[in-house]
Structure 1
Amino acid sequence: MDDHPIFRDGITQLINHQPDLQVCGGVSSAALALSSVEELNPDMIIVDLSINGTDGIELIKSIRAQFPALPALMLSSHDENLYAERALRAGARGYIMKAAPSEKVIEAVRRVLEGSLYLSEAIGGRMLDTFLNGRMPGGTSSSVDQLSDRELEIFRALGEGRSTREIAQALFLSVKTVETHRSHIKEKLKIQSAPELIRAAVQWVGSQENL
């Protein structure tokens, strides 16, 4: 489930080249995802973090609510240090970066199909350290880590230049709800004004693109 046809086609070809794997379908928006899962009955799903209508984390939550046994792999160009743990909490069985080598993508797919978890060695080690020691390596955490999944989704959308009304329409929320989330974001990030919030969001999105 990816809203970029060229990339979706590439993943499809990669998987279909495996003698024992076959892609049964693909969609470009969250609105089509649930009905497609019900219709196609796949063995697993691959979800892009950035998909039309919502983000992949919220989509996985929705799919898991209706199909709790269906394993999901999150595929993303966004920083795994920030999103991998969120994806697992939402119900994903793995997280892999789009920049990963083809053989790692196939390894991730097979791991998830087998019922195992898949994470990169780097993020797996970081999460193990967090579990064992109850803290991030070095004892620090990013302010953005404090945001809920929905707040982070809205923060990213603000950084991509979307207005409150556009965000509300895309996420099927009321403008008032988005404004409430904006207030919570400002409070958690210790931001005083709306222009400062936009600047912070734009800077953060830019930093993610440069990773």
Structure 2
Amino acid sequence: MAPNFKKRIMVVDDHPMMLKGLVTTLNAEHGFEVVGQFNRAEEALQRSTELKPDLAVVDISLPGMSGLELIKHLVGLDQNLKILVVSRHEEILYAERVLRAGAKGYVMKQEAGDEMVKAVKKILNGGIYVSEEVSEKLLMGMAVGQKNLSQSPIDLLSDRELEVFEMTGQGNNTREIAERLHLSVKTVESYRARIKTKLNLENATELMMHAVKWVESESSEM
């Protein structure tokens, strides 16, 4: 019997239909095999050592531990593990942060399918996969010096705080954010309070205005 040289892939996404679609697409590709599918980061982390995947496909917004935290933990366990983020979040807002965490690529969910397969192949071959716009932004950042970029107050926000900040800028209220991130309203309120402190904002109105302005300015750079 011929040895199985298929690349082992683990998928982590809390949306059932999206998870099913990702798994189906990957399993249909010659040379790929999905060996684990999870809707929570904690379970994926627990099983990763046993499953020994070559690559993990991870969403950012997950109940409990966020996708960004999962990336850091997975890389800590296995530095050779390749990670691709497939997310509904705007790539321009998160690409640099996920690459810094240890991921090797970013694909937005509405582009998933052929684009995701292309990204997976490139990453497994040792490359990095981001859009041309993001690649240019990252190169420009290197040209002017990362020190200047890191001085942005937004970099003070934790990964979960950034998610809450982005959703606030997109017009979501506290309850809507809580539902989408599978958090309690009280927890979201705590995140918003911390964001106001870190960004030196006086009240909820200032937070909303600042968040909207930031989301619009980041998106306009694409």
Same fold (TM over 0.5): yes
State the Cα distance separating 1:113 from its structure 2 match.
Answer: 1.2
| Aligned amino acid, residue 28 of structure 1 | N
Aligned to 1:24: 35
Report Cα offsets for 1:36-57 as digits up to 9, x if no partner.
Answer: 2122111110000111213211
State the Cα distance separating 1:103 from its structure 2 match.
Answer: 2.1
Q: Which runs of 5+ in 2 are unaligned?
A: 1-11
Indicate conservation of the 8 Å contact 1:48/1:56, yes or no: yes
Aligned to 1:68: 79
Match of 2:13 among 2, 12, 22: 2
Report Cα offsets for 1:23-81 as digits up to 9, x if no partner.
Answer: 11110011211122122111110000111213211111122222222111111111111
Matched, 1:94 2:105: yes
Q: Which runs of 5+ in 1 are unaligned?
A: none
| Aligned amino acid, residue 157 of structure 2 | L
Aligned to 1:134: 145
In structure 2, how many angstroms separate the alpha carbons of the residues matched to 1:204 and 1:76? 22
Matched, 1:85 2:96: yes
In structure 2, how many angstroms separate the alpha carbons of the residues matched to 1:80 and 1:65? 24
Match of 1:147 among 154, 157, 165: 157
Q: Which deviates more, 77-86 or 125-134? A: 125-134
SS at match of 1:49: coil
Match of 2:69 among 55, 58, 79: 58
Report Cα offsets for 1:72-125 as digits up to 9, x if no partner.
Answer: 111111111110000000010111111225222111001111121111111111
TM-score, length of structure 1 as denominator length: 0.76
Matched, 1:46 2:57: yes
Q: Which deviates more, 149-158 or 66-75? A: 149-158
Report Cα offsets for 1:141-186 as digits up to 9, x if no partner.
Answer: 98645534243144357775457xx79xx78xxx7xx84x645521
| Aligned amino acid, residue 97 of structure 1 | M
Aligned to 1:192: 202
Aligned to 1:13: 24
| Aligned amino acid, residue 101 of structure 2 | A
Indicate conservation of the 8 Å contact 2:58/2:67, yes or no: yes
Aligned to 2:3: none
SS at match of 2:19: helix
TM-score, length of structure 2 as denominator length: 0.73
Matched, 1:105 2:116: yes
Identical positions, percent: 37
SS at match of 1:26: strand
SS at match of 1:31: helix
| Aligned amino acid, residue 90 of structure 1 | A
Indicate conservation of the 8 Å contact 1:155/1:201, yes or no: no
